[in-house]
Chains A and B, each alone.
Chain A
Amino acid sequence: MYWRHRMKWQVGLMTMCVTVALVPDALSQPTHAEVRQFLQDDAFPHSYRELAQAYDVSVSPLLGEMLNSPVEKADRGRIATLLGAVGDERAADALISFVEKPADTEHITFEHEDARNSAMRALGYLVNRTGDERALKYLTDSLTPGVWRQRGLTGMAAGARSYEEYDRALSRQAIFALAYSGHPAAAEAITSLQRSPSAGQAAFRNSLSDSTLTQWLEVHRLVAERGLAGMYEHYEAERQADGQRQADEANRAREQRQ
């Protein structure tokens, strides 16, 4: 009796523990409506630090679903960005499939173009948060513009005159995303692009200004040293200082004129 009683008590305690463990998770699970509201202008953070802390990985499946929902069209760029920033490895598939999502028309809208670019950059965020190998490989492979034809990507940017031109634009997004990743392999990939003997990469490199790879390697260095949030804060501080200097100059010019 004692044993049976003890067992009952133990089972009861275990059940309670499981319930206690599950309840907060269920309570903290964000709803579609909450996430949607977060994505609107009012709430969406301007700083990466806030963005990365806004949700945990439990929001990923919902975001992946929203990314491919026609209802969420207007917010796809932010959905992709948040998906990358929360840092769930499951996000790679959703982001890649969104980038490669077939377009209905030859030229995509500005909104779709921006969302696709956001998804590329989000892959960089994801690598930064998780070191996701699939996302990293996708981005390094993207440094050869010809890969976009192999992937069968359709729908070019509104201003692009050919797929050849748009493929290069997407490969440039891969450079930016690799810089945001701060991953050592990403720096190697960008550096190797600077001297790659492959015809496809050489042609791509020649289409870039000399300064572009150097500039984005500097962004990579800042991310590697300070983290993504630190990199953003560094440039933001510079921008604010520059803005203040220009505001002061403008005020002086107006005062002198009076």
Chain B
Amino acid sequence: MSRHLVIVLLWSAVLAWSPAAHSYSRASGISFSTLTATLSGYSQTWKDPWDADYYVDCVFWAWDDVYGYQCMAIQTQINYAHVFADLNSPAGLHQTTAATDFTNAVAGYSAVATMDGTWSGQGRHYVISDFYYQWCPYNFCTPPLYTGSMWFDIGTSEDQVLVTLPVIISMKISRHDTTSLSMGEALGILGMATELLQTDDNDGDTACSVLFLPIADIDPFSESGPEGVVNDQPEMAAVMAVPGLVQVVNGIEWCNGPPHIPGATITGCGNSQGITVRRWTPTAEGVVWAHEYGHNQGLSVLPGTHNPNSGFLMNQTINEGQRRVTASECNAFLNPI
């Protein structure tokens, strides 16, 4: 048992290791969706595959006459890629998220834009080294003990986007208590309405930067005729008087009169009081809602205004191809009363 120990202190220089700049990479990206007025993007720090995730060093050696040098203390260093993704509005820092990963740290962000101007997504990139210490007399090691960490700054990355906010048109939606309409469906319809107005479809169309958004929950109401169908003027008046801008029903047989085109189905009825729409072919509901909102804003359908099939939103007949608005019609959408 008598062993002559020659203690050799071979402290590894903890600080000697630092990440090689070339083995780490960084990037940021940002984009703005006018369809949802949402900024989204990411910042990412990643390292090359050959860069080790951890190092193990013996930091304290001892000489044993029988066994030779024995490691008495081990230090483990674990290296992470780390990133802070900052979303900056024209007024300053808006949001920060972060991510850590052994090889590829990606932090994403998403936020509704609140002001016009240049927004930027900025990544702050680091390598974090965590250090653990273990005492190992004769190879019986104690549990690792965390002793601290070091941050190595490997720079920043940035991407920018110019935001021009659309005019937000908030709609309180109600539905007849026999009519089925989920918030997801309503968002889909409003998304379609937004997209068709924002898109320039050429041939006299104007890109109209509006964004339809629902307000609060979809509340049920009981007004209207039987089974949620509007059959006459008093029933229409009762439905239009329901609080909120949009009332969704199962059918409309009367809108200031019977269907004005022979054989046609009334899919919506809009005036300065509000909009009553029926559930219909999903691909055309966005057109119907946008069209009726046009009526709500004083746009009328006058004969001869448009070719019946010229694809204009404010035509009397509606199908999914009716997407275009003139500049003056767009102006009504952009300046809601």
Contacts and interface: CB of A to CB of B under 8 A. Distances in A.
Given A41-B319, A159-B279, A160-B227, A209 B263 contact: no
Contacts of A232: 260, 262
Contacts of A216: 231-232
25 contacts: A40-B309, A41-B308, A41-B309, A44-B308, A45-B262, A47-B262, A114-B265, A117-B265, A122-B263, A125-B262, A158-B279, A159-B250, A172-B226, A207-B226, A208-B226, A212-B225, A212-B232, A214-B232, A215-B233, A215-B234, A216-B232, A234-B257, A243-B295, A247-B300, A250-B299
A246 B300 contact: yes
Main secondary structure of the interface of A (DSSP, over half): helix
A85 to B, nearest CB: 7
Given A243-B301, A248-B298, A251-B298, 16 more contacts: A46-B316, A77-B264, A80-B263, A110-B281, A118-B263, A168-B226, A169-B251, A172-B226, A208-B225, A239-B257, A240-B300, A243-B295, A243-B300, A246-B300, A247-B299, A249-B272
A244 B263 contact: no
Nearest to A258: B335
Contacts of B227: 159-160, 165, 168-169
A86 to B, nearest CB: 12
A242 B303 CA distance: 14
A215 B231 contact: yes
Contact of B271 (A82, A118, A165, A242): A242
B192 interface: no
Contacts of A183: none
Contact of B261 (A46, A169, A238): A46
Interface of A: 40-42, 44-48, 51, 77-78, 80-82, 85, 110-111, 114, 117-118, 121-122, 125, 157-161, 165, 168-169, 172, 176, 179-180, 207-209, 211-212, 214-216, 219, 232, 234-236, 238-240, 242-244, 246-251, 253-254, 257
| Cβ-closest 5 pairs across A and B | A250-B298, A81-B263, A235-B257, A243-B300, A215-B232
A243 B300 CA distance: 5
A111 B265 CA distance: 10
Nearest to A119: B263
Interface residues of B, number: 47
Contacts of A48: 262
A238 B256 contact: yes
Contacts of A85: 262
B280 interface: yes
Nearest to B284: A110
The listed residue with most B CB atoms (<10 A of its CB), out of A41, A117, A239, is A41
Contact of A110 (B178, B262, B280, B301): B280
A248 B298 CA distance: 7
Contacts of A254: 335, 337
A71 to B, nearest CB: 19
B262 A81 contact: yes
B174 interface: no
Contact of B260 (A219, A236, A246, A257): A236
